[in-house]
Amino acid sequence: MMQLDKITHALAGAAIAAALLPWGVTPALMAVIVVAVGKEVWDAQGHGTPDHIDALVTVIGGVLMASWLTLVS
């Protein structure tokens, strides 16, 4: 079973993408990438446990949501 942490990262990426998609796919996905990498940089500075897979899963969640919303609109 997938870890709760990874599910949370995917949902966060999806939420960011969904919220910013009205401004376009590129700005929405760029925001997801910035937030995902920023969160892991924050973690690496002693505020958590950095994990590059967390950033990847966040971006995947954002890409899936943006793709789905683009297809159904």
Cα 15 from Cα 49, distance rounded (Å) = 22
Q: Would you list the domain boundaries of the chain?
A: 4-72
Q: What pLDDT digit, counting tens, does each position of 14-52 carry? A: 999 999 999 999 999 999 999 999 999 999 999 999 999
5 pLDDT more than 90: yes
DSSP letters of 31-68?
A: HHHHHHHHHHHHIIIIIS---HHHHHHHHHHHHHHHHH
Quick one: pLDDT at residue 1?
Answer: 58
